[in-house]
């Protein structure tokens, strides 16, 4: 199984949240790059995003078969 951040990207698009905004709120640019390309990120990064976006980590990620 592979992690995808499609739910997070969809939420961002629906709410006009940009990667630039997230970066200015303290989310590391490397983390944002990893999200763009569906690479793994740390639980610390997920927690920070969840707090910033007022959602739960399971609302930001999905698991798909390869």
Mean pLDDT of 23-42: 96
- Sequence spans of domains, the chain: 2-64
Query: What confidence score (pLDDT) does residue 37 get?
Result: 96
* The CA-based dihedral angle spanning residues 51, 53, 26, 14, taken in that order and rounded to the nearest 10 degrees: 170
For residues 48 and 56, give the distance between their C-alpha atoms in angstroms, rounded to a whole number: 10
% of the chain with per-residue pLDDT over 70: 100
For residues 27 and 51, the answer to whether their CB atoms sit within 8 Å is no
Q: pTM of the full predicted structure?
A: 0.86
Averaged pLDDT score across all residues of the chain: 94
Query: What confidence score (pLDDT) does residue 21 get?
Result: 97
Query: What confidence score (pLDDT) does residue 66 get?
Result: 77
pLDDT digits (tens, 9 = 90+) for 10-30: 999 999 999 999 999 999 999
């Amino acid at each position: 199984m592979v992690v995808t951040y499609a739910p997070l990207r969809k939420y961002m698009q629906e709410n006009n949240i940009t990667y630039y905004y997230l970066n200015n709120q303290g989310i590391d640019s490397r983390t944002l790059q990893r999200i763009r390309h569906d690479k793994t990120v740390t639980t610390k990064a997920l927690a920070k995003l969840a707090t910033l976006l007022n959602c739960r980590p399971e609302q930001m990620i999905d698991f798909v078969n390869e």
